[in-house]
Amino acid sequence: MQHHESPRTDPQRDQKSLVTVVGSINADIVLRVPLHPLPGETVIATSMDVHPGGKGANQAVAAARLGAAVAFVGAVGTDAYADLAISGLGEAGADVAGVVAVPGPTGQAFVTVDDRTGENSIVVVPGANARVDRNLVKRQHGLLERAAVVVIQGEIPPEAVVAASSGSARLVLNLAPVIPLDKEVIRRADPLVVNEHEARLALAIFERDAKRFDTDESIVEALLAEGIPSVVVTLGAAGAIFSSGGAPLRVPAPTVTPVDTTGAGDAFVGALSARLAAGESLEAAVKFAVRVGAFAVTRRGAQPSYPGPDDVLPEGAE
């Protein structure tokens, strides 16, 4: 794919703290409508916007905008959306040499948003993301081996997650969405990052009945007890809760007026990964990530809502 000039000049820093994201990359087509069409109905959109998206790309952009050295591994199609899908990564300064073009469509998300209620319905075309297989990942093993942190989500096939998680780098596994993975693969996560809903589905993979856990603390403890080295559960406006073995700690999010929560979880994971790669403790990284997540909900869209180095983050509510 295209090679973009990297704004970074210190190769030693890149060597030590590279964040390699293996994941999905989409074009998001956002249609605003006066009301959602019912089956058989036609409605006229009041606007259409196309943005780069996909959880993997969003997280890579969030980390790169915060100053991390980021490399991306994934696939786009051979259609007109490929360049657009990749544009956000390039603008943020991420290395896209590990993005492969495969025949067929680029991943796309068709988002219809009701003008009055803001409620959305989404149709996702996995496209090239479904073609990210074991071999595609293995061909990029240099980017995986050089990484301090490898970041993966659930929008690529399980075999690609397995291949990306088997190196020596620290693994940030954002199980979003929750896909069928072996317990052993999830146990490589340090941390596993999930929202409350995903945390319950993750427990089900370990054959634990989520209904028996009625507090966030008990869910974090149950996941740790299954042998996951560290766990972070994001709690929306309430921030996040995490543990790497001790009593779970809550980190409240700063109070903000939300404008659009799209991509807040991805901002959180990108920020967390950037700070872990820089050598921070999990606690410090989570404290930073909740502020970045809160910043992202105060602006519209996913990637356009992420802070750059000059933005002032809302203060943590401690």
Positions that interact with ligand ADP (CB under 6 A): 195, 234-237, 239-240, 253, 256, 258, 261, 264-265, 268, 290, 293-294, 297
For residue 12, give every residue at least 6 positions away whose Cβ sits within 8 Å of its Cβ, in sequence order, or none. Answer: none
Residue 89: what are its φ and ψ, rounded to 5°? -65, -45
Nearer to ligand ADP, 83 or 280 (CB): 280
Q: Which residue is nearest to ligand ADP (CB)?
A: 265
Q: Quote the least distance from Cβ 193 to ligand ADP, whole Å.
A: 9
Distance in angstroms (rounded) separating the CA atoms of residues 60 and 72 = 7
DSSP result, 44-68: --SEEEEEEE-HHHHHHHHHHHTT-
Strands 107-114 and 26-33: parallel
Distance in angstroms (rounded) separating the CA atoms of residues 72 and 245 = 31
Q: Quote the least distance from Cβ 198 to ligand ADP, whole Å.
A: 8
Q: Quote the least distance from Cβ 151 to ligand ADP, whole Å.
A: 14
What's the burial of 232, exposed, middle or buried (CB within 10 Å: 0-12/13-18/19+)? buried
* Other Cβ atoms within 10 Å of 254 Cβ, number: 18
Nearer to ligand ADP, 55 or 187 (CB): 55
- Per the DSSP assignment, residues forming a β-bridge with 20 are 71, 150
Distance in angstroms (rounded) separating the CA atoms of residues 56 and 266 = 8
Let me know if 266 is a catalytic residue: yes
Nearer to ligand ADP, 128 or 271 (CB): 271
Strands 149-152 and 47-53: unpaired
Catalytic position from the list 10, 266, 310, 311: 266
Q: Quote the least distance from Cβ 134 to ligand ADP, whole Å.
A: 27
Distance in angstroms (rounded) separating the CA atoms of residues 311 and 252 = 20
Nearer to ligand ADP, 84 or 253 (CB): 253
Nearer to ligand ADP, 152 or 169 (CB): 152
Q: Quote the least distance from Cβ 120 to ligand ADP, whole Å.
A: 13
Catalytic residue set: 266
